[in-house]
């Protein structure tokens, strides 16, 4: 297990020996990763087309906009139209959704680290399996380790929290264990959602079990600041000007201040269940090859629809609702499936954890945090997401 923050003691869980929560332990490596390439460089790569659309500028000029996947990650791409129609130019991308492209690496704005591909030539590929081009967990990491950590922490929860958690995992495990946690920013690969959740639960348990939880959170924030300062000192030597911890510390210290004012010890079981549920709605907000076809009809009273699944992309219907309300649906469904009735205040606190975890409405939160557990969840989510982004940047 990766040591996340020095302030959080290692808590190694025993190997999971059951047969309910199976994970794919194979990792792929060696795919295209745009961060390894410099602006102006010409590349030739085979990529999976995660999303493709025709865009129109204010002047009426059309171009093609893409999200590409490889086993090492995702990137954005575009193709300018010099002749023919947009529909004709789009055909090779949709033929098999696997393409061999000749393209140029671009960066806009200059020195922003915001890189993309400008495609010059494209050819449909027929002899490559799309699943081999889905972004994968780093080769040095093991999905089974994160599974063991997550299940071990769930087993430590008291009832009814453990019963609710296990019902959610049993119902949605195939999707939960494979879905990414994001498209680009953090844990943007197969199994990323499970890893993000397991790491957050580890941080949450370490904070709750410490003698002074508030100070343990502050120690994690201080470690993050040290990472950020180190990046700033090395900035002239780095190829990118993006910093993983940008825009984080005001929100982290706001959470710390709010926790101080509330002056309450966090409820560990409530916080851990909130962590488990906070992003579980991404099962419906994203899709990719291998996603369960019945995930919408299993949760909602809706008719079945046919989906075209390819690389990791935002689900056009799931994004209309977003992962936070879907997390609430999952929580309520688990209560009904297990015939569990809980106090009204506990029910609304759990809903509040899910709906407030982004911290700010401008960051996508339905509401802003108001409870001790909600502020801890927001801070832990931000810490783990940014720490993953920071670790990834150090490997480039």
Q: What is the pLDDT of residues 168-192, one digit of tens each?
A: 999 999 999 999 998 777 898 999 9
Phi, psi of 267 (to 5 degrees): -85, 110
Residue 166 has pLDDT above 90, yes or no: yes
Residue 30 has pLDDT above 90, yes or no: no
- DSSP output for 331-394: HHHHHHHTT----HHHHHHHHHHHHHTTSSGGGT-SS---SHHHHHHHHHHHHHHHHHHHHHHH
Residue 353 has pLDDT above 90, yes or no: yes
Residue range 10-37: average pLDDT?
A: 84
Cβ atoms of 350 and 331 closer than 8 Å: yes
Cβ atoms of 169 and 334 closer than 8 Å: no
Confidence class of residue 305 from pLDDT cuts 50, 70 and 90?
confident
Q: What value does the mean pLDDT of the chain take?
A: 91
**pLDDT higher at 308 or 327:** 327
Residue range 331-341: average pLDDT?
A: 97
Which pLDDT does position 1 carry in this prediction? 54
Verify cis geometry, omega within 30 degrees of 0, for the bond prior to 307: no
Residue 83 has pLDDT above 90, yes or no: no
User: Percent of the chain having pLDDT more than 70?
Assistant: 96
Superfamily name and number for 34-133: Nucleic acid-binding proteins (2.40.50.140)
Taking CA 29 as the corner, what is the angle to CA 169 and CA 35, rounded to the nearest 5 degrees?
100
Which pLDDT does position 348 carry in this prediction? 98
**pLDDT higher at 208 or 11:** 208
Which pLDDT does position 237 carry in this prediction? 58
Helix (H, G, I), strand (E, B) or coil at 160: coil
Residue range 181-205: average pLDDT?
A: 92
**pLDDT higher at 230 or 367:** 367
Residues of the chain with CATH 2.40.50.140: 34-133
């Amino acid at each position: 297990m990766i040591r996340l923050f020095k302030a959080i003691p290692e808590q190694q869980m025993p190997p999971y020996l059951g047969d309910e929560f199976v994970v794919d332990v194979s990792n792929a490596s060696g795919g295209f990763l745009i961060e390894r390439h410099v602006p102006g460089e010409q590349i030739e790569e085979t990529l999976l087309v995660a999303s493709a659309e025709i865009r129109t500028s204010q002047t009426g000029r059309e171009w093609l906009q893409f999200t590409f996947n490889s086993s090492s990650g995702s990137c954005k791409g575009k193709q300018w139209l010099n002749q023919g129609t947009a529909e004709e130019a789009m055909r090779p991308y949709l033929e098999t959704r696997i393409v061999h492209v000749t393209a140029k690496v671009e960066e806009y704005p200059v020195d922003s680290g915001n890189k993309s591909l400008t495609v010059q030539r494209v050819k449909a590929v027929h002899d490559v399996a799309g699943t081999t081009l889905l972004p994968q967990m780093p080769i040095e990491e093991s999905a089974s380790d994160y599974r063991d950590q997550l299940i071990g922490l769930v087993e430590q929860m008291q009832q009814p929290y453990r019963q609710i958690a296990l019902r959610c995992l049993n119902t949605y495990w195939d999707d939960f264990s494979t879905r990414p946690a994001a498209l680009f920013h953090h844990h943007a690969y197969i199994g990323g959602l499970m890893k993000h959740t397991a790491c957050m639960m580890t941080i949450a348990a370490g904070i709750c079990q410490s003698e002074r939880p508030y100070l343990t959170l502050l120690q994690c924030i201080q470690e993050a600041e040290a990472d950020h300062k180190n990046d700033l000192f090395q900035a002239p030597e780095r190829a990118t000007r993006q910093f993983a911890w940008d825009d984080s510390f005001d929100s982290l210290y706001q959470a710390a201040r709010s926790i101080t004012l509330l002056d309450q010890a966090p409820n560990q079981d409530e916080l851990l269940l909130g962590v488990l549920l906070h992003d579980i709605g991404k099962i419906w907000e994203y899709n990719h090859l291998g996603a369960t076809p019945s995930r919408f009809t299993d949760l909602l009273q809706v008719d079945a629809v046919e989906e075209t699944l390819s690389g990791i992309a935002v689900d056009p219907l799931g994004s209309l609702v977003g992962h936070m309300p879907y997390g609430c649906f999952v929580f309520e469904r688990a209560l009904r499936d297990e015939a569990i009735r809980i106090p009204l205040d506990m029910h609304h606190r759990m809903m509040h954890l899910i709906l407030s975890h982004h911290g700010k409405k401008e960051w996508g939160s339905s509401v802003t945090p108001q409870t001790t557990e909600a502020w801890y969840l927001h801070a832990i989510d931000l810490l783990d997401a940014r720490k993953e982004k920071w670790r990834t940047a150090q490997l480039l």
